[in-house]
């Protein structure tokens, strides 16, 4: 261990770019059934970067539209509010939190995170949980890695080297170098950002849902993480499929025989969002 505490890492949160207002609004209104398109458009129009990415996504071949989309209101009418909220969150987060150098490639991280997000949304829909909250927790589940890299790049690259050389899970390498792992850091980070508790629970429990009180979202993001690896979404280098917690599966009540027909839909949805976000 290298003598840097969790508190010190969190104190360096300013090394990360802040989430844009549009992304914060999407996350804050996950459980708000009164949230409407007008409120989202008002926030989107204050952020030209997010607007440009959403319009590019809406006009991409992923959606095969016959006419060009040139406004947020038109995009919402054509694609639907749910799809716009998904694209808003994904583009805003990925554009802002795109740090990397040396051994750390953020594009790999985000392709994986989108895979987990798509799996989480599908599982949530199947089990009648909140699919938007599940997508958000999946998208942000490895955000702790971004903060570790931004706050202590040399130590994080040491953890990455150890992971490669010893062929051990990244969380074990992080524990050896820092004394804690990115799941703990990520959960504390989103609490610092005052995001919903269930998002923090999903992040905190995604590697070890039996290691604390992470609720249903901790179980769900853990299972989504394993499923994403099993489907090899993102084509990760040296992809390994983690062991799935049978307790998490039992607590969720997931029936893999019933769920298996959705695998093709998950892969199609993943390919679609990668293309829309130009991450393919």
Give all domains of the chain, ordered by start, each with its CATH number: 12-96 (no CATH), 101-280 (1.10.3210.10)
Which pair of tokens denotes residue 106? Answer: 């953020």
pTM of the model: 0.87
Average pLDDT for residues 116-140, to the nearest whole number? 93
Evaluate the CA torsion angle 269, 272, 273, 279 in order and state its sign. positive
Kindly tell me if the per-residue pLDDT of 276 is higher than 80.
no
User: What whole-number distance in Å separates Cα of residue 215 and Cα of residue 31?
Assistant: 17
pLDDT digits (tens, 9 = 90+) for 183-226: 999 999 999 888 889 999 999 999 999 988 999 999 999 999 99
Kindly tell me if the per-residue pLDDT of 64 is higher than 70.
no
User: What whole-number distance in Å separates Cα of residue 40 and Cα of residue 36?
Assistant: 7
Q: Are 20 and 54 contacting, i.e. CB atoms less than 8 angstroms apart? A: no
**Cα separations in angstroms, 41 against 77, 89, 144, 152, 172:** 12, 13, 30, 37, 43
Ranking 13-27, 199-213, 220-234 by mean pLDDT, the lowest is 13-27
Looking at residue 103, its pLDDT comes to 65
Looking at residue 99, its pLDDT comes to 66
Return left, alpha or beta for 54; rule: phi > 0 is left, psi -120 to 50 is alpha, else beta.
Answer: alpha
Which pair of tokens denotes residue 91? Answer: 């583009």
């Amino acid at each position: 261990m290298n003598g840097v505490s969790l508190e010190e890492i969190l104190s360096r949160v300013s090394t990360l770019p802040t989430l844009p207002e549009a992304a914060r609004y999407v996350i804050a209104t996950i459980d708000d059934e009164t949230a409407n398109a007008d409120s989202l458009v008002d926030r989107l129009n204050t952020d030209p970067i997010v607007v440009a990415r959403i319009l590019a996504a809406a006009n991409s071949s992923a959606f095969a539209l016959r006419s060009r989309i040139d406004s947020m209101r038109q995009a919402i009418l054509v694609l639907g509010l749910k799809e716009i909220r998904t694209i808003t969150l994904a583009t805003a987060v990925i554009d802002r939190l795109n740090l990397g150098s040396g051994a750390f490639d953020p594009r790999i991280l985000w392709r994986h995170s989108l895979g987990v997000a798509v799996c989480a949304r599908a599982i949530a829909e199947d089990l009648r949980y909140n699919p938007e909250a599940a997508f958000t927790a999946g998208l942000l589940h490895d955000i702790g890695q971004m903060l570790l890299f931004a706050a202590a790049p040399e130590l994080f690259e040491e953890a990455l080297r150890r992971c490669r050389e010893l062929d051990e899970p990244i969380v074990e390498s992080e524990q050896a170098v820092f004394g804690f792992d990115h799941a703990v850091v990520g959960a504390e980070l989103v609490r610092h950002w005052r995001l919903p508790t269930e998002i923090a629970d999903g992040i905190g429990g995604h590697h070890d849902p039996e290691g604390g009180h992470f609720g249903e979202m901790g179980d769900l993001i853990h299972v989504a993480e394993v499923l994403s690896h099993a489907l090899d979404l993102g084509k990760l280098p040296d992809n390994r499929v983690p062991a799935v917690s049978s307790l998490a599966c039992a607590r969720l009540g997931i029936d893999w025989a019933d769920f298996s027909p959705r695998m093709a839909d998950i892969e199609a949805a993943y390919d679609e969002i990668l293309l829309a976000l130009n991450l393919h």
